Structure 1
Amino acid sequence: MTTATLPPGPPSPRFLQGVFALLAPMRGVRRMRDRYGDAFSVNVPVFGRATVISDPAQVRQLFTAGPDVVENLEPNLGRVLGPGSLFALTGAEHREQRKLLVPPFHGRRLAAYEKIIEEEAVREMASWPQERAFATLPSMMRITLNAILRAVFGAEGAEFDRLRALLPPAVALGSRLAVAPIPRTDLGRWSPWGRFRMARREYDAIVETLIAKAEEDDLDRRDDVLALLLQSRYEDGSRMSHGQIADELLTLLVAGHETTATTLAWAVERLRRHPDLLRELVEENDAGGRALREATILEVQRTRPVIDLVGRQVTADALELGPWVLPKGSTVLVGITLVHDDESIFPNPRAFDPHRFVDAKPDLHQWIPFGGGTRRCVGAAFATMEMNVTLRTLLRDFTLVPTDERDERWHSRGVANAPAKGGLAVVRRRRSPSSPRTTTTTGTRP
């Protein structure tokens, strides 16, 4: 037997550590890293005792370990997304399901979705007020929601309207319940879990209607993910069940809606405070370029990752990470902000400098806003393209007015960390969006 050797950490009770984590999530992990080193132990509600790591070599080792060594963290979003969600699946089931979900988000499929995203961005931005401050996060939420409903669900008409009304509050509630205890008694609509279950039942009924309509249609003519999943087959020739499809579509919505919209709001917040960069981006955009814009999206995700932690559970008898030996069942959390703040990886890490990515693509074990390894976000390419198209449209159609106001603070929305004021913007329209100039961004993901 290998003797467990855990890194040091604060001795305070679990409750107090949990309060500290809620009140000062970013400042707290940085303080503990400064005090205890690039690996430390914590004891917090829901996850219990866990090891937080940020050393690049240890992160790489964790992400490249197979499912016989580490598996998905428990509890996770699978408890709200359903048992057929990628978050809930493990081992061979996860691997087989992931194979079916990768093709819709690559190659020519992305080009088909790009037009949808630009249409939704133009439509939403047409309502933007001029010459006065407004929060862009709600607007970005509508763009990403409408785009993903069309691209992923193939929704239109009555089903589109029902999902558009149902999903935002359900996703917001679910993101908070993802790490909350599940009550033993179902109090129905009088409890958060009861309200979420009611919303989930309505969602399932809508998806069943969409599936029935799709099955009556010519699936070969459709590019939406629902149609592709209905046509997909496992290695043994079997199909995904309707329940599995519903769970995976909801997973794609959650993974590609709120987090993408939040990153876009952070992009607005960052660009308004860097006028020289903003000027460069506009000039590049007008000339049909994209390199600096793509690098800016990478840098926004590095400096303002909307998800701060990604975790794994040790399934082997023991896991050696550097000098530490973690026993079976241990929780390992990767501090994304801590990795992105590492001076040895990103010189002058607190500076917002997209030029660092113009000629150098990031190492995906060091730049990790989408997680890493076999559980890296399956929709990363779609999300990157969506951010690229939306930012391109904004820079083309509007002048984003710089500001000398202080940086917006981080605000927790449950799963995602958003700008506290919603990414305030002041804009002026540059030209009519009626004839948008499209520059293909497909295939530009990191």
Structure 2
Amino acid sequence: MSLPNPLKTPSFLQKLQWIVDPVGYMEKAAQQYPDIFTASVVGFGDTIVFVSHPQAIQEILTNDRQKFAAIGELNRTLQPLLGDYSVLMLESDRHKQRRQLLMPPFHGERMRAYGQLICNIAEKALAQLPQGKPFSAWTITREISLQVILQAVFGLYEGERCQQIKHLIGLMMDAFDSPLTSSFLIFPFLQKDLGTWTPWGKFLRQRQQIDKLLYAEIAERRQQPDSNSVDILSLLMSVRDEEGKKLTDQELRDELMTLMIAGHETTATAMAWALYWTHYMPQVREKLLAELDRFSDSLDPINIFRLPYVTAVCNESLRIHPIAFFTLPRVVQEPVELLGHYLEPGTVLFCSIYLTHHRADLYPQPKQFQPERFLERQFSTYEFFPFGGGARGCIGQALAMFEMKLVLATILSGYQLALADPQPEKLQRRGVGLAPAREVQMVITGQRASRESQLSMVATPAL
């Protein structure tokens, strides 16, 4: 089978580069073939066709489930973390039905209930930090994001179970905090339980402890349902499919793990990058603060969500440093032509988010942080798609953007910060995503004037 623009580098070296330096690997390939190329990477089959041309991406994403189908089996890299019944693992009609059940808690009135919660969590996290002492912004945004997950998704505000889940999730994610340890997710042959002190053995025991806590929480909720609860777990426990069936305990467990894993570190990393860029480029921070101060009399979580420059800063952070390299894989279902290349059924495709976001024809000077791009032009969902797209787009993207904007606004409006390390931050593989290698070291240099009234909840239209 002939594949478009195969890379000439030996397969073994490609796989090694993909693990150690995925960004460098993709950028080097795109220099030769900027629109489409065939690579040999690990985790999704032997050969993958990478696509980064908006026209081709539109063709793929608008023909989801038809010419190009998402196959749950290709997401097996995430299975050890998420389980077999996560929406990411399901296919065809099962995926469509589950997605319909999961969507309502992430939109409209449900989102409004989380606004002040997010602001309060961010304020509390920063208030506990001493002035003048360096801290990891990425650690703090992880703390904020996990607290949002625990309270908005689980409805857990305090207690031993809450603290245990929080502790174990942090330990489990730290198990894959480098290119080397990430290999345990990528290579199935490394996934051997050789004892408590081995990396995979330790991970399995941590996962077992988390499962015990999650199933205990689910059992208690089933025994004592609360119709007034607005947390996502309570809402998911009440939904029924077309046949009137509720989600099983295992289905609930896998969806909760998906929300924690997919919605915790990803959002935290995006927030850390936004803090980095707004302080690496002081003029960006000053413009953002000017906008927040200009609307200080009418600021509430919903209005913050709508502020143009806050939105532009968050979008540019997600453009220049997308958390995911690519969309979930698609498989060609019937012979098709794509950018002048004929693809046979069975060909696996990645729509490359990173490479598309760094196309100079779409984003001039793509390595420069320029929020104004998003004020001057409206990009299509095939040119800017940090949360993926099509039938497999991220369910929680509205909540993620809501959280990102509120946390950034809360921190910058209340605190004066500076980068503790003047060296430019770099990307590093962490699990199946990318994160700042030095975790964005910052320091609090002071506090801004009190703005207690600016972040209070008031009656506003729905999102």
Say whether the 8 Å CA contact 2:425–2:436 is kept in structure 1: yes
- Give how far 1:435 is off: 3.8
Give 2:271's match in structure 1, choosing from 264, 274, 291: 264
Q: Is residue 419 of structure 1 aligned with residue 418 of structure 2?
A: no
Say whether the 8 Å CA contact 1:9–1:32 is kept in structure 2: no
Say whether the 8 Å CA contact 2:86–2:255 is kept in structure 1: yes
Structure 1 window deviating more from structure 2 (67-76 vs 152-161): it is 67-76
Give the aligned partner of residue 88 of structure 1.
Answer: 89
- Give the aligned length: 442
Give the aligned partner of residue 166 of structure 1.
Answer: 168
- Give how far 1:443 is off: 8.6
The 5 A counterparts of 1:55-66 are 55-66=53-64
Give the aligned partner of residue 375 of structure 2.
Answer: 358
Say whether the 8 Å CA contact 1:385–1:444 is kept in structure 2: no
Which secondary structure does the structure 1 equivalent of 2:431 belong to? coil
Which secondary structure does the structure 2 equivalent of 1:332 belong to? strand
Q: Measured at CA, do residues 313 and 397 of structure 1 come closer, stay the same or move farther in structure 2, by a change above 3 Å?
A: same
Structure 1 window deviating more from structure 2 (46-55 vs 386-395): it is 46-55
The 5 A counterparts of 1:387-402 are 387-401=404-418
Residue type of the alignment partner of 2:54: P
Give the aligned partner of residue 19 of structure 2.
Answer: 22
Structure 1 window deviating more from structure 2 (337-346 vs 262-271): it is 337-346
For 1:262 and 1:83, locate their aligned partners in 2 and report how far apart those are by CA, in whole Å: 26
Q: Is residue 278 of structure 1 aligned with residue 285 of structure 2?
A: yes
Say whether the 8 Å CA contact 1:55–1:339 is kept in structure 2: yes
Structure 1 window deviating more from structure 2 (62-71 vs 249-258): it is 62-71
For 2:280 and 2:323, locate their aligned partners in 1 and report how far apart those are by CA, in whole Å: 19
Q: Is residue 236 of structure 1 aligned with residue 234 of structure 2?
A: no
For 1:201 and 1:433, locate their aligned partners in 2 and report how far apart those are by CA, in whole Å: 45
For 1:184 and 1:217, locate their aligned partners in 2 and report how far apart those are by CA, in whole Å: 38
Which secondary structure does the structure 1 equivalent of 2:388 belong to? coil
For 2:462 and 2:289, locate their aligned partners in 1 and report how far apart those are by CA, in whole Å: 19
Say whether the 8 Å CA contact 1:80–1:174 is kept in structure 2: no
- Give how far 1:196 is off: 2.5
Identity of aligned residues (%): 31
Per-residue CA distance 1:81-116 (angstroms, 9 max, x = gap): 111101111111110110111100101111111122
Say whether the 8 Å CA contact 1:148–1:256 is kept in structure 2: yes
Question: TM-score normalized by structure 2?
Answer: 0.89
Give the aligned partner of residue 49 of structure 1.
Answer: 47
Q: Measured at CA, do residues 416 and 433 of structure 1 come closer, stay the same or move farther in structure 2, by a change above 3 Å?
A: farther
- Give how far 1:431 is off: 4.4
Tell me how large the CA RMSD over aligned residues is: 2.5
Give the aligned partner of residue 39 of structure 1.
Answer: 36
The 5 A counterparts of 1:45-444 are 45-47=42-44, 48-69=46-67, 70-72=69-71, 73-155=74-156, 156-173=158-175, 176=182, 177-182=184-189, 186-288=193-295, 290-358=307-375, 360-401=377-418, 405-431=422-448, 435=452, 437-438=454-455
For 2:325 and 2:191, locate their aligned partners in 1 and report how far apart those are by CA, in whole Å: 30
Structure 1 window deviating more from structure 2 (259-268 vs 288-297): it is 288-297
Which secondary structure does the structure 1 equivalent of 2:349 belong to? strand
- Give how far 1:346 is off: 2.3
Structure 1 unaligned segments of length 5 or more: list them: none
Question: TM-score normalized by structure 1?
Answer: 0.92
Residue type of the alignment partner of 2:171: P
Per-residue CA distance 1:301-342 (angstroms, 9 max, x = gap): 001112112242425143432212222222212221210111
Say whether the 8 Å CA contact 1:340–1:366 is kept in structure 2: yes
For 1:108 and 1:318, locate their aligned partners in 2 and report how far apart those are by CA, in whole Å: 44
Structure 1 window deviating more from structure 2 (164-173 vs 436-445): it is 436-445
Structure 2 unaligned segments of length 5 or more: list them: 296-303
Residue type of the alignment partner of 1:55: H
For 1:262 and 1:104, locate their aligned partners in 2 and report how far apart those are by CA, in whole Å: 23
Which secondary structure does the structure 1 equivalent of 2:385 belong to? coil
Structure 1 window deviating more from structure 2 (132-141 vs 399-408): it is 399-408
Per-residue CA distance 1:341-373 (angstroms, 9 max, x = gap): 112322332221112213644322211211111
Which secondary structure does the structure 1 equivalent of 2:454 belong to? coil
Structure 1 window deviating more from structure 2 (5-14 vs 289-298): it is 5-14
Q: Measured at CA, do residues 89 and 111 of structure 1 come closer, stay the same or move farther in structure 2, by a change above 3 Å?
A: same
- Give how far 1:53 is off: 1.0
For 1:26 and 1:242, locate their aligned partners in 2 and report how far apart those are by CA, in whole Å: 39
Q: Measured at CA, do residues 81 and 296 of structure 1 come closer, stay the same or move farther in structure 2, by a change above 3 Å?
A: same
- Give how far 1:247 is off: 0.2
